[in-house]
Chains A and B, each alone.
Chain A
Amino acid sequence: MTDFKKNIKKVTSATSSNWREKANYRKSNRWLEYSSQIARRVLSVLDSRKDLNQTRLAEMLDVSPQQISKIVKGQENLTLETIYKLSNALNVELIQFPSYQWSTMELGNRDSVGEFIGARTLVQAKVFYGGGEALPDSSWSINAVGGEPTPDVNRSQMAAPPMYIAFKASSISQVWAGQKTGS
Chain B
Amino acid sequence: MELIPIFVDDDSGEGLYSIKFPHENECEYDRVMGNWSDTEFISRYLLDNVSYLAAPYFKDKTIDQLINRIGKEVLEIDDLLQLYSDEGFHRSGRNLQGLFRPLDDMEYIIPVYQLTKTTALSHGFKMTRIYAIRIGPNSYVVTGGAIKLVEKMKDHPDTRRERDKMPRVVAFLKNAQIMIEQDLKSYL
Residues in chain A within 8 A of chain B (CB atoms): 2-5, 7-13, 15-20, 22-23, 26-27, 32-33, 35-36, 39-40, 43, 47, 69, 72-75
Least CB distance from B188 to A in Å reads 15
A11 lies within 8 A of B78 (CB)? no
Q: Can you list 7 A-B contacts with CB-CB less than 8 angstroms, sorted by A residue number?
A: A4-B179, A5-B13, A15-B4, A16-B4, A22-B33, A22-B37, A36-B67
The answer, yes or no, to whether B38 is at the interface (CB within 8 Å) is yes
A7 lies within 8 A of B12 (CB)? no
Query: Given A4-B178, A4-B181, are A17 and B18 also a contact pair (CB < 8 Å)?
Result: yes
B20 lies within 8 A of A13 (CB)? yes
**Neighbour of A40 across the interface among B13, B30, B43, B82, CB < 8 A:** B43
**Neighbour of B78 across the interface among A3, A26, A75, CB < 8 A:** A26
Count chain B CB atoms within 10 A of each CB in A3, A4, A32, A74 and give the residue with the most: A4
In the complex, the chain A residue whose C-beta lies closest to that of B67 is A40
Interface of B is mostly: mixed
A8 lies within 8 A of B6 (CB)? no
Least CB distance from B181 to A in Å reads 6
A40 lies within 8 A of B71 (CB)? no
